[in-house]
Amino acid sequence: MSGKYLAATDVNFKSEILDSDKVALVDFWATWCGPCMMLGPVIEELAGDYEGKAVIAKLNVDENPGVAAQFGIRSIPALLVFKNGKVVDQMLGALPKNQISKKIDEHLN
């Protein structure tokens, strides 16, 4: 099931991700990154699957370099899982949906 992911930015990252009371998955990506584009539909599916349970977000690193630098993102796609304002897990590359879901599920209450 496809859903609407949050478009995270340098401006809304703190309020929408770090201050959230939900677990959040953030996909750090760019338009020129082939594997990032392959991961896009998976992120949309996850947004539908976790609607109301977790925040699923994408952050374009070219448009939002501040957050990318803050978390030391050097290669993309990078997937970071946040809980209570802290990074609790991270994954690199265009991973299959079930592998990403497993990481999110590990941090849900």
Distance between CA atoms of residues 67 and 61, nearest Å: 8
Read off φ and ψ for residue 96, nearest 5 degrees.
Answer: -70, 155
pTM for this prediction: 0.96
Instruction: Walk along the chain (109 residues) and give the pLDDT tens digit of each residue.
Output: 556 999 999 999 999 999 999 999 999 999 999 999 999 999 999 999 999 999 999 999 999 999 999 999 999 999 999 999 999 999 999 999 999 999 999 999 7
Orientation angle between helical segments 97-107 and 34-49, nearest 10 degrees: 50
For residue 1, what pLDDT is reported? 52
For residue 2, what pLDDT is reported? 58
Sign of CA dihedral 94, 35, 9, 71: positive
CATH of 6-106, one of 3.40.30.10, 3.60.40.10, 3.40.50.970, 3.40.720.10: 3.40.30.10
| Domain boundaries of the chain, sorted by first residue | 6-106
Instruction: Give the residue numbers annotated as catalytic, written as ranges.
Output: 33, 36
